[in-house]
Structure formats: structure tokens, C-alpha cells
Amino acid sequence: MSLLLVRQTTTFILLCALCCCVSVKYEPNWESIDSRPLPNWYDESKIGIFIHWGVFSVPSFSSEWFWELWKGQKIPGVVDFMNRNYRPDFTYADFAPQFTTEFYNADEWADILAASGAKYVVLVTKHHEGYTNWPSKVSWNWNSMDVGPKRDLVGELAVAVRKKEGIKFGTYHSLFEWYNPLYLSDKANGFKTQDFVREKTLPELYELVNNYKSDVIWSDGDWETTDVYWNATEFLAWLYNESPVKDSVVVNDRWGKNIRCKHGGFLNCDDRYNPGVLQKRKWENSMTIDKYSWGYRRRARLDDFLTMEDITSVIASTVSCGGNLLINIGPTHDGKIVPIFEERLRQMGEWLGVNGEAIYASKPWSHQNDTLASGVWYTSQKSTNGTSVYAIVLDWPDNNVLKLGAPVASHASMVSLLGYKGSLTLTPGTGSGVTVTIPPISVNEFKVRWAWVFKFTNLQN
């Protein structure tokens, strides 16, 4: 009797679990699309690398330059440069054969990307000028197999990245193409026709997902019209219900000019979005190591690149407020991640190697920044031992004394400094606040640079 009951209960539970999984079917509307829980891997990852690479990497002249040339606009600096260096009838398309990628070694890239501590990569597969970095069937003579590299750039990186443990592969894709005649004719019809979406945008998205199993679809180029023209919810319902990545994929919010910062998976809002306060929904700060450009820029000076202090600061402020950081590099037309980007990425990995406990899989704490000290950002982790609170301190404390306003401590509270084996002294304030006294530390026993993480346990808040 009792055995039967157990068996029946087990069957019932099994059936239930099955029902739940089978019955979740997303409808092509935002309420249903938004109801899908974001797969956990995304929030836990915290750090991704964005890669802007394409025909624009050939002129590598300035950030927005290649659009202007294509549009025939007369930007004075660009016109002078072109007149001095190219024949008069040279067009943007003429750069494509020079997108040679002869030094592109995807395994070498994957080594650098993995060494950065990032947990996902987002590669530009097609930017607004429509050139696809994979042999798309719907981008005839304007793709990386037909002109330029004669290689499947996306496929090579997807394979190389997936050889690494714990790092996901994502694809950036521009919905629109500024100069595609099909797009322009739909636009001239007030977006009542969808020829471009039918012939180009959707087939490309299906190719990317089916061929490369994108873990992230980072959509862009949405802003001239609404999600209705793009058939965004129809595509996302397919992606979430039927695609080969339906359980693991995450998407952003750039699916129409009325959608950004409101609907989708995680919210990107604007480029370099970093609100500095806790957000209700999962969001991502996409930004660049070269302050002035997404693509490679031959004229960049050392000063134009973020320092490691800048990078640890943006990691701290982003992650504390519930965001992920998607940090961008621009490889060269011949396929190299130049040493300045490689160094920043490897150094970021060095910092995360010691301090990752405060970052990966962390949760925002009750305070994001300190109430007293500036340049201090908090994260937290729950474990069976209770909650640990991490104060990421961007400037080494004056006289080795750190005074914080937010933590509430008792005599049972403890503090340590990540990467340092010795002990520190914690003095609870009256009411809230703590004072941490750091002993004199030799540079030989403690090599952490750029930002420091103090870990508190047994706090009262």
C-alpha cells in the first residue's frame, strides 16, 4: 500500500515536471516573450567580450567614418584623406578585397578571450553596411567567402571559442542595412511591405542560429521602425520554442524603436549604458576599450585606450548595479588582436583571477556604492555559511585605513582582502559603518593592482 502510494506520487511528480516543461510555449507578443526567465548562465557570467570586425576594419580610420563614405557625405577630414590616398571613384565596397584576414587564427583569439576571464563572446557577424562575416546564402557577393577573406570568419571563431571551458559564443547582427535597395523600398512604402525582412533579415537570423547555435543574439539597427516590421516577436517565439538553442539562448532588447529598454531578454538601452543605480531588470553595459571607436582605429593613441583602473571601475559599477559588462575590442583587417587590446584583456583576467569571487554569480547587495567613501562598490554572494559582502575599493585607502559607511558589523563580523593571506582588523562603528585597518604589506606578498576587494562575513545587514 505504502509502496504503491510512493510509486503513484513519484509518477505524479514526474508527470507534473513533464507537463511544466512541455507546456511552456511562447506566443509572438511581448508579454509572453518577456515572461521567459533569462537562462542563469547569462547573469552569472557578468563579463563578455564584444568584437567589432568587418570591412570597416580596412580603412580603420575613425569610428563613424565608413558610413559617411558610403553615404557619399562630405566629412572634411575623410574627404581630404580619401583624396590624398585613393582614386576618385573609390567606394566603400572597394575596401572589401583588402579585408584579407591572413593572420586570423581563431584558436589564438580564443586563448586571449578565455584568458580575459570573460564568460561569453559577441562577434559582429553583419554591421549596418550588410557585409556578412559568414557565407550567407542571402548576401550574394557581399560576404566573407565571396570577397575578402574567402573564409567563414564566424564559423571559425564559434568552433575555437567552444573548445574553451565555460565560455559562450554570441552573434551581433544588424537588422537593417542602410543602403540595401530592398530595405530602402520598404522604407519608401512607410514599412508597409516587408520584402527586406523576408529576403534578408529573417533568413540571416535563421542561418546564424541554425549554423552557429548562437548563445546570444545581440540585435541592433532597429531604430528606424517598429518591431512589427521586423517580425521580432514571431522570430523570438520561434527562437524560444523551436530553435536548437531554445533553452540556452539570450537576446537583448534592440528589436524596434518602440522596444529598446523595455522588452526582450536583457536590456542594452543605449551604447555605454551604465546607470549607476540598481535596475529592476537584467541589463548590460556595452562599451569600448578604445574610448572613441568600436572598430580598429589606426590613428589611436595610447591615451585613447581605457586603463586597467578605468576597466576595474566600470566592472565594479556595472556589476554592483545588476549589470553585465560587454567590453569591446576591434581587431585589424589582417586578423590580429593588437597587443594593447591583448594586454588589457589578459590583465582583466589577472584581476578577475584573484577577485572573481566578488564578480561571477554575485548578486547586488542592499547598497550598491558606499554611503561615506567614494569609489567603493558592493556585491554579495550567498552560501551555506551565510552572506558574504564584497567592497570593491577603487583607490587604495589613505594610511592603510578603510572607513566605510554602509556595513553594519558586530564583534562576530570578519574581513579579509582577496589575494592576501594575512589578517586585517575590523572595528565596528557605533550604529553603522566599519573601520578596517590594513597592516603594512610588502609588494612581494601581495601583487593585486588597480582595485581591491574586501570581503566581509557575518555582517548584520
Ligand X SMILES: *[C@@H]1O[C@H](CO)[C@@H](O)[C@H](O)[C@H]1NC(C)=O
Selected range binding ligand X among 15-23, 47-55, 195-203, 207-215, rule: CB under 6 A: 195-203
Identify the residue among 277, 338, 401, 412 touching ligand X (CB under 6 A): 277
Judged by DSSP in three states, 460 sits in: coil
Following CA atoms 225, 228, 229, 232 in sequence, which dihedral angle do they give, to the nearest 10 degrees? 100
Q: Tell me how far apart the alpha carbons of residues 333 and 131 are, in angstroms, rounded to a whole number.
A: 14
Is the CB of residue 248 less than 8 Å from the CB of residue 215? Answer: yes
Identify the residue among 77, 276, 353, 439 touching ligand X (CB under 6 A): 276
Q: Facing residues of 172 across strands? A: 124, 218
**Count of residues in the chain:** 461
Q: Rounded to the nearest whole angstrom, what is the least distance from the CB of residue 55 to ligand X in the complex?
A: 27
Contacts of 244 (CB under 8 A, 6+ apart): 209, 210, 213
Following CA atoms 291, 295, 297, 300 in sequence, which dihedral angle do they give, to the nearest 10 degrees? 10
Q: Rounded to the nearest whole angstrom, what is the least distance from the CB of residue 309 to ligand X in the complex?
A: 17
47-51 and 120-126 as β-strands: parallel, antiparallel, unpaired? parallel
What does the block give as the cell for 400? 592603510
Which residue's CB is nearer to ligand X, number 155 or number 405?
405
Which residue's CB is nearer to ligand X, number 254 or number 367?
367
Is the CB of residue 342 less than 8 Å from the CB of residue 108? Answer: no
**Angle of helix 339-355 versus helix 308-320 axis, rounded to 10:** 50
Selected range binding ligand X among 130-138, 191-199, 278-286, 393-401, rule: CB under 6 A: 191-199
Q: Is residue 198 at the binding interface for ligand X, with CB under 6 A as the rule?
A: yes
Phi, psi of 415 (to 5 degrees): -135, 145
Q: Facing residues of 122 across strands? A: 50, 170
Q: Tell me how far apart the alpha carbons of residues 432 and 194 are, in angstroms, rounded to a whole number.
A: 60
Selected range binding ligand X among 93-101, 213-221, 358-366, 383-391, rule: CB under 6 A: 383-391
Q: Rounded to the nearest whole angstrom, what is the least distance from the CB of residue 384 to ligand X in the complex?
A: 6
Q: Is residue 192 at the binding interface for ligand X, with CB under 6 A as the rule?
A: no
Q: Rounded to the nearest whole angstrom, what is the least distance from the CB of residue 275 to ligand X in the complex?
A: 8
Which residue's CB is nearer to ligand X, number 171 or number 231?
231
216-220 and 250-251 as β-strands: parallel, antiparallel, unpaired? parallel
Which residue's CB is nearer to ligand X, number 383 or number 444?
383
E strand or H helix at 32: helix 30-34
Is the CB of residue 62 less than 8 Å from the CB of residue 295? Answer: no
Q: Rounded to the nearest whole angstrom, what is the least distance from the CB of residue 233 to ligand X in the complex?
A: 9
Q: Rounded to the nearest whole angstrom, what is the least distance from the CB of residue 376 to ligand X in the complex?
A: 8
Which residue's CB is nearer to ligand X, number 62 or number 416?
416
Binding-residue total with ligand X (CB under 6 A)? 14
**x/- map, 25-64, ligand X, by CB under 6 A:** ----------------------------------------
Identify the residue among 58, 69, 202, 287 touching ligand X (CB under 6 A): 202
Identify the residue among 62, 136, 144, 231 touching ligand X (CB under 6 A): 231
Q: Which residues of 106-127 are buried (b: 16+ CB within 10 A; e: fewer)?
A: beebbbbbbbbbbbbbbbbbbb
Q: Is residue 384 at the binding interface for ligand X, with CB under 6 A as the rule?
A: yes
Q: Rounded to the nearest whole angstrom, what is the least distance from the CB of residue 246 to ligand X in the complex?
A: 19
**x/- map, 71-110, ligand X, by CB under 6 A:** ----------------------------------------
Which residue's CB is nearer to ligand X, number 115 or number 278?
278
Q: Tell me how far apart the alpha carbons of residues 282 and 434 are, in angstroms, rounded to a whole number.
A: 31
Percent helix, strand, coil in the chain (nearest 5)?
35, 20, 45
What does the block give as the cell for 176? 537593417
Q: Rounded to the nearest whole angstrom, what is the least distance from the CB of residue 34 to ligand X in the complex?
A: 19
Judged by DSSP in three states, 196 sits in: helix
Which residue's CB is nearer to ligand X, number 77 or number 276?
276
**x/- map, 338-377, ligand X, by CB under 6 A:** -------------------------------xx---x---
Q: Facing residues of 323 across strands? A: 283
Q: Tell me how far apart the alpha carbons of residues 105 and 335 are, in angstroms, rounded to a whole number.
A: 7
Selected range binding ligand X among 12-20, 344-352, 378-386, 448-456, rule: CB under 6 A: 378-386
Q: Rounded to the nearest whole angstrom, what is the least distance from the CB of residue 28 to ligand X in the complex?
A: 7
Identify the residue among 32, 63, 100, 194 touching ligand X (CB under 6 A): 194
Sheet order of strands, 386-393 included:
376-383, 386-393, 452-457, 414-417
- The interface with ligand X within residues 234-273 (CB under 6 A) comprises 234
Q: Tell me how far apart the alpha carbons of residues 240 and 404 are, in angstroms, rounded to a whole number.
A: 45
Selected range binding ligand X among 146-154, 205-213, 379-387, 447-455, rule: CB under 6 A: 379-387
Which chain residues interact with ligand X by CB under 6 A?
Answer: 194, 197-198, 202, 231, 234, 276-277, 369-370, 374, 383-385
